[in-house]
Structure 1
């Protein structure tokens, strides 16, 4: 069981460092595929692993001067508030809804990354309206973190680039810093609900931390347009695999339900 967890963490860590995400966008489906977890268990375990991963990645980006601390604080405050709502929805919504909402979200993020080329080196000019927008982004990011076990970077990075005009490296570093409170806030109710095995989450997290440093190095080497295309293409492939699994799971659940409805002899 340890090898699938380590492999999942390593892949998630590379993506976290390279693209400014928590790594959950790949760790959740891999935990479902390799560790045989259901959507809820995978999301809760991924969220635990994201805490150390985001800390490590944000530290490296910060040393390079690629974090907007004020923007990160505003987004992080919103994320801290939104994550418990996402964690509640994770427990309350049917698994089928969670599966398809996650897949649709991945495809939307993939389209944005592939079609729009980010700039490098742009800063945000803060105003009252911009500050409120960053808080709202954080709330959405937090709900996604708690609900899907992702850091929310697949939402935050494209939005910081497209709507707020932030450079791609600064957006990645700022996203990682902002997702730390979201991951902590979302993990607490999951722990109380008994959804997560902390040991498994830490195994994934340790592997992700070690791999994230290589991902950050790649982020500075790969041109922003190519980085977006690579990440978007990966999301499409993962979403396709998850869609196939969701259809099969739906058929299996219908067969089981129909079987339960048949009168006993």
Structure 2
């Protein structure tokens, strides 16, 4: 049965928020997509929300990546190393995540968000090195972060941008705007890897994914423009990144604790 018109608009609006966030901070697509699908759109199965969000976020990331590429903010070598090392980790993580209770998974996801948000907020004054790139001195570190975030991405059914951005900054010391653009390659790769795993288990809502992608394409344009404006102001983009994570995590923890029966 076709969803009512209002419900379709709600799904497109949710996708727009996801796309805007991806364009703005290169991450956060899934940390918004999952709770939006579960608590606003009304997807009853957390695993369907996780699988569908992984697909939608991956496709939205590709839209955002095209825009960042035009602006020259993508470090392609770093992106290739990070993404390729994380794909196997994402497959392994997805297999483990599907074996965990859905509500427990969402709660653990929220706790991880708080930890990452704290790390980003602590380092918000670091501007990075404009010419930073992947080289023989840091390639091992970049690969290690790629594998680690790939595992977490697959386990939680996320694109992983909110982990990839700080991972790129930590391993290369690149400015956050470059990390945002570069992260979208890995977000797309991790998300598609995770989505394939969930698809094989029947955990994809195709109509919802299509509507999220439609909304996301609209939102990513505005998000990227705002990111460029904020990037020149010390710590603003990083602080916003962390605050978004904290707000969504708090809501998910509140909902998760209320719904859990231990």
Common fold: TM-score over 0.5: yes
Which residue of structure 2 aligns with residue 261 of structure 1?
none
The answer to whether structure 1 residue 39 and structure 2 residue 49 are counterparts is no
Among 230, 248, 262, the residue aligned to 2:240? 230
Q: Is the 8 A contact 2:86 2:151 kept in 1?
A: yes
Deviation readout 1:70-124 (Å, 9 max, x if unpaired)? 1000011012212111221221112243122201111012112222124166233
Alignment of 1:1-265 (within 5 A): 1-21=7-27, 23-37=29-43, 38-117=45-124, 118-119=126-127, 122-128=130-136, 130-222=138-230, 223-250=233-260, 253-254=261-262
Structure 1 unaligned spans of 5+: 255-265
Q: Is the 8 A contact 1:22 1:53 kept in 2?
A: no
Partners of 1:4 and 1:26 lie apart in 2 by 14
Aligned pair count reads: 252
Superposition RMSD in Å = 1.7
**TM-score (normalizing by structure 1):** 0.89
Partners of 1:51 and 1:247 lie apart in 2 by 29
Between structure 1 and structure 2, the one with the greater Rg is 1
Are residues 85 and 11 of structure 1, via their aligned partners in 2, closer, same or farther at CA, if it must alter by over 3 Å? same
Deviation readout 1:6-44 (Å, 9 max, x if unpaired)? 121111111100001161111111111112223212111
Q: Is the 8 A contact 1:48 1:202 kept in 2?
A: no
Partners of 1:3 and 1:143 lie apart in 2 by 34
Structure 2 unaligned spans of 5+: 1-6
Which residue of structure 1 aligns with residue 3 of structure 2?
none
Partners of 1:105 and 1:129 lie apart in 2 by 29
Q: Is the 8 A contact 2:78 2:133 kept in 1?
A: no
Q: Is the 8 A contact 1:49 1:206 kept in 2?
A: no
Partners of 2:225 and 2:50 lie apart in 1 by 27
Q: Is the 8 A contact 2:16 2:216 kept in 1?
A: yes
Q: Is the 8 A contact 2:107 2:257 kept in 1?
A: no
Partners of 1:230 and 1:125 lie apart in 2 by 24
